[in-house]
Amino acid sequence: MKLVDRAAVERFKDLLEVERAAAASVSGLIPMATTPAMGRLFAKLRDDEAWSRAGLTRVIKHLGGKPSPDTGNLAQNVQAGPSLRERLGLLNRSQAWVVKRLDRILEEDLDRETGGFLRQMRSLHAENVHLCEELIMTLPLPVRTERSSRRT
């Protein structure tokens, strides 16, 4: 019987929850795409999130754990953003957090299959962070009303 590395399983469950939330966030952004290129980027993000979720599920099971059905609250926070720029910015900060988390995990002693998957996942997320940053820079800044610009 294989021993379960509970700490590793929990780290991967946390990542899986973030990936589920990111996928839900992207699903909410897809109808907001204003150009075909933006639509293709959002579809890429959605597909990459699905690939990451499937891989993390395999890793958790490989480690002897059971994936939870939980989802983080990122999607609600993203949807609450007042503009596409702000929504995409929040999603992108979450994706950058995943890259940093993966960097730390990749410093650990991992089996070849898990390490290979996580390096590929990290690469996809880093690429998506860059692509989203480029898109964010093209989106209009939110309009501030006098009320929202006053200091309290």
Instruction: Give pLDDT, residue 152.
Output: 47
Reduce the DSSP state of residue 94 to 3 states and report it.
helix
The first and second tokens of residue 18, run together, are 């973030």
Reduce the DSSP state of residue 72 to 3 states and report it.
coil
What is the percent of the chain where pLDDT is above 90?
73
pLDDT in tens, 73-103: 888 888 888 899 999 999 999 999 999 999 9
pLDDT in tens, 40-73: 999 999 999 999 999 999 999 999 999 988 888 8
Q: Measured between alpha carbons, how far is residue 72 from residues 2, 4, 36, 122 in Å? A: 29, 24, 29, 19
